[in-house]
Every structure is written in structure tokens, then in C-alpha cells.
Chain A
């Protein structure tokens, strides 16, 4: 019974962790090319879920999700072009305030468009009550879908950044924007691309987790806070670290419920975030030396 419970909590933790990790990755992609935290990242997750649900009434599930991802990427790129692209050497604080503004704007627009009701996509396989049993430990197929798709995202992101020209250009932009511009890399386009990429990943995540978490116009903020915590915990700019940090946070939260009242679950996330910011602002896996060179 003890082992069974242990693994059941672990599964719960992995479920939370995947969701956090995927939002955290989005933060990192934008941070890498612009040096800012995009607080509208949670809104991309919301948009992905909501658009996919709306399209699903007309289109088959995989196409609806793909279309939602493409649409959200377009929205992400559009937002960047409208609000950020034309700024000349903006201060970090100004950029952050702008992203907070965008997040409120998107949220309110979603409220007008979809109303307050809560929606979700159907389970990809099985239904609301089906689960695989691994020696008494039960896992919903959707959790496996989420884990699988998260892994695919992480692996393909890594391949993209390491082996494609575009990925390398984005990385060059991240290490030194001026030097990258001197090499002929269109840095502004790279920033737009990073917004589109972050929006796409967020949207895919939003669609895949929606059967588990359900989605509504207001879910973005909560997710953004968790994703931000995870990005800081892992070390800003490091996507793999965000995944690890996501699982650490998710599992900690889940096991905290085992021994403590649930009410303390969120307190744990915030405590970790604060402790990290005080003790090791470069993050668990971040490089202290490199961190000192960054603006923010």
C-alpha cells in the first residue's frame, strides 16, 4: 500500500510538473532572445486551449490542435510586431510592464470572445474515467499523452537550437545581440520568431492539458506564476533546466499533500521561488558567472 501510494503521488507530481515545465520553457525561449520575462506566456497556453476547443466543433481533433497552434503562433508574432518590435533599446522594466499589459489585454479579449464558461477538449484516448493500471498505480492516458508530447517538444527544441541554421541564429542572438547583428543575423526577426515559437509551444501545451485541467479565459495568470517559478528555479534561459525544475516543483507539491493539508501546496511553490531568488538567483542549474553578466 505504501509503495502504491508513493507512486500514485509521484504520478500526480509528474502531471503537475509537465504542465509547469512546458510553460517554463516558453518563458525561456523569449528570455533568451530578448532578455525579458514575457508575462503573457500563460495567455498563450490559454489561447491554445480555447482556440482548439472552438475549432474542434468543426474540425477533427489533430487538425483543430494544429490549427490552434498555428493561429496562436500568428497571434504571438503579431503581438511582438505591434508592441515590441518598434521599440529602440527599451529598458527591461518597460518591456516587462508591456508584457503584463498584453496579458491583461489578451485575457479581457478572451473573456469577450468566449465568455466565462469553462471548456475542455475530449480525452485523446479513452474517456474521463479510463486509466492504465501499473500494479495498482493508475495513470490517466491523457497524462501519458502530456508527458509524451512534452518530451517531443523538448527534444525537437534541442535539435532545432543545435542543428538548424535558424536555431543557431537565435542562439547567437541570445548570447550577444549586437555581435549577432554584425554577423548579418536579422535580430528583430529572431525576436518575432521567438515570440511565435513560445506562443506555439504554449498553445500546444494548452491544448494537450485541457482535458485534464479544463480551460477558461482566466487560467493564464496562475500558469504564468508557476511557469515563472520553474524558469527561475532551473535558471533563466535554460530550457532543459526548466523541465527538471518543473518536475521537482510538481513532485514537491504532490508529496507535500501527502503529509500536510492541501492548503499549503501553493505556499511551497512561492517559498521555493523566494528562497531561490535570495540564495541562488542564477537558479539550480544556472551558471553564476554568466548570470552576473546579464541585465536581468
Chain B
């Protein structure tokens, strides 16, 4: 009996190691995504998008005849899991490239691992540190926090706003945004009179917004990605503050608008154009890509498309295009991505270079607002 067991294990081992031999004609793509856990609103749509795209590409016969083999690992937004899965994907699975992780914290933990393993990493996380300083094999598809902040300040200038209050949550996203706001504000002649950090699980922020009210500011920016961003705007309006409210691109989820109800009306925030795909003019270069992705995703999964799924879309399509052009050669694909220009994605038009592994500029953000419970382009 024991011998039988041993035999099974040996056979199983052979089967595992032998598998890649049989599947030599595929391109193995690993994905490290927070499919469940606290960041599932990022990872779940990303994973669904990748599955949808791979299915579609393979149905068409793959890239240059090579099918894609997608291996999704659920990191649950834990950096420790991201590290061990990254090692597994690189050392054992010997993947061609890795898409993800979903969050900046995880990406920073595996930046060096990807670099050492000479494996392409196309991160779906926002932080600027992922691509600054540039690492040879690390790219990212979401827009920069910095650009979101600059777009907000440009809008404030148009509205003659110079004294503001800043609220942010105590998470990686909130902290990164707060730092950028503090750093860039002086360049735009903006003065921060109140600067408060609240708990990510906050349930009522009346006292915080009272502090903002007391400071007599002309506008307030809230930077968070949690449900608290809906609470904060309700509290602002409840205590009778009528000043403009700016939110981060983290507000780009229609559920927050539903949660805030009437209080969400008129909130101004920068976001990618995916949220307003249908209302864009036909001349917009992104329109075709956006409408196509939105239609396919919503038909397949019966849920609203989100910008986060879009980051997964961009990563996969950039990789697929580079493989199509350069063949299944890691180094050549890396060089192709680095020199890719004018790639139209969901986050914007990507123009990569040796110094810029994000490839997006200020123009990737559009200023949006909420009107009658829907996202529309802010025009003023």
C-alpha cells in the first residue's frame, strides 16, 4: 500500500514536470491579483477581464498561432502571498510575463523579484514608485496619482480656488495621494488650511468636516478608496457646507454614487474615460476601445464595468500586441513594450519610453462629475 502511494506521488511529479513539454506551444502568462479579500473590488474585475480576453484570443487561434495559458493566483491583497506566488510563477511555472499585482504595496514587494527573475511585470497598481525609479522589467498601466492631483489643481485654478481642506484615509492610497497633494500644492499657489487623516473604517465624519467648515476653505479634496468617501460627502452637505467637493479617481465606482445619493451630485473628480465611454464624441481616439470593452464585459458578466478591470485589459492587450510583433521572446517583447507608442488603451493613450514605463500623461484623466446619479464629463 505504501509503495502504491509512493508510486502515485512519483507519477504525479512526473506529470507536473512533464506538462510544460506538452504545452510548449503556449505563452504562459501569470497573474497575481487580489481576487478576494479587502481589495477584491480591484482584483475581481481584473481577473474576470483577463479570463475574458484570453478566451477571446485563444478562440481566434492565439497570438501568431500560440495560445495563451493564463495562471491566476489570488493574493488576497497580501504582500506575503504576492511574494511567494511571484517566486512560484517565475521559478516553477517559468511564466513568460506576470500581470498584476492589483495593489501598490504588493507590487513594491515583488518589483525586485521580477527584476532578478528577468520576468516582465505589468502592474495594475497606481503608485508612482512602481515605475520611478524605472526598473527594466517593470511596467504599470493605471494613471499616476500625481497626474490626478495636477488635474484637480488645474481645475481649481479655473474656479479661482486657492484655500483648500484635505481629507484622506489612513491607507496606502490615501497616504500616497496626501503626499502628492502636499508636494504639488505650492507650485499651483494652493494653500492647505486643514489636513486630516481619518480611519479607513470610519462610520461618521461629522466632526472632521466641522473642522473643515471652521477653517473657511473654498473647496475640499477627499482622497480615499473606501466606502468612507461616500460618508464624507454626505456629512459635508449635512452640516451645510456648499463649497465644491473634489474626490480622487478612487471615486470612479458607481456604487459610491449610489451610497451617497443626493450628496454625490456635483462632486468633481479625475478619472479615466471608461466611466463615460458612451457619452464621448466619436472623434475621441479611445471611444472605440472603451465601448468595445464595456459591451463585452457587461454582456459576459452582467455587472458594471470598472476602471480597475480596464487596467487588467490594458496590461493584457499591451502584452499581446508586443508578443504579436516580437514573437515569444522575453527580451524582444520587453524592448517592444518600451518603445511602444500611441497604444490606445482604456486608461489613455500609452507612449512608453526607456524613462517612462507608465506611458500615460495628464491627458489620460478627464474631469468628471455626477449628474442625476450618473457620471458625466465636467464641462466648465
Contact = CB atoms under 8 A, between A and B. Distances in A.
Instruction: Indicate whether A and B interact.
Output: yes
Interface of A: 1, 5, 8-9, 11-13, 15-16, 19, 116-118, 120, 122, 127-131, 133, 138, 140, 209, 212-214, 216, 218-219, 222, 253-255, 257-258, 261-263, 265-266
A213 B204 contact: yes
Contacts of B170: 263
A40 to B, nearest CB: 18
A119 to B, nearest CB: 8
Query: Which 3 residue pairs are nearest across A and B when measured between Cβ atoms?
Result: A213-B203, A12-B206, A129-B237
Contact of B262 (A129, A133, A140, A263): A129
Contacts of A9: 207, 210
Given A128-B263, A262-B211, 6 more contacts: A12-B207, A19-B203, A19-B204, A122-B261, A258-B207, A261-B197
Residue from A1, A130, A140 having most chain B Cβ neighbours under 10 A: A140
B155 to A, nearest CB: 22
Given A118-B227, A131-B239, A16 B259 contact: no
B265 to A, nearest CB: 8
Interface string B204-245: 101110110110000000000001001100100111100000
B209 to A, nearest CB: 9
B198 A128 contact: no
Given A12-B204, A12-B206, A258-B207, A127 B261 contact: yes
Contacts of B262: 127-129
B192 to A, nearest CB: 13
B255 A258 contact: no
B240 A11 contact: no
Interface of B: 38, 40-41, 170, 196-199, 201, 203-204, 206-208, 210-211, 213-214, 227, 230-231, 234, 237-240, 255, 259-264
Nearest to A221: B201
A257 B38 CA distance: 27
Contacts of A213: 203-204, 231
Given A118-B255, A265-B199, A214 B239 contact: no
A140 B240 CA distance: 10
Given A8-B239, A222-B201, A261 B196 contact: yes
23 contacts: A11-B206, A13-B207, A15-B206, A16-B204, A19-B203, A118-B259, A120-B259, A128-B261, A128-B263, A128-B264, A129-B238, A129-B262, A131-B237, A131-B238, A213-B204, A213-B231, A214-B230, A222-B201, A258-B207, A258-B211, A262-B197, A262-B198, A263-B197
B317 to A, nearest CB: 28
A218 B226 CA distance: 13
B250 to A, nearest CB: 14
Contacts of A209: 203
A92 B261 CA distance: 46
Nearest to B228: A214
A253 B203 CA distance: 13
A262 B202 CA distance: 11
A128 B260 contact: yes
Nearest to B210: A8
B168 to A, nearest CB: 10
B337 to A, nearest CB: 33
Residue from A19, A118, A122 having most chain B Cβ neighbours under 10 A: A118
A218 B38 CA distance: 10
B207 A128 contact: no
Given A127-B261, A265-B199, A5 B214 contact: yes
Nearest to B170: A263
A216 B226 CA distance: 12
Nearest to A133: B240
A237 to B, nearest CB: 26
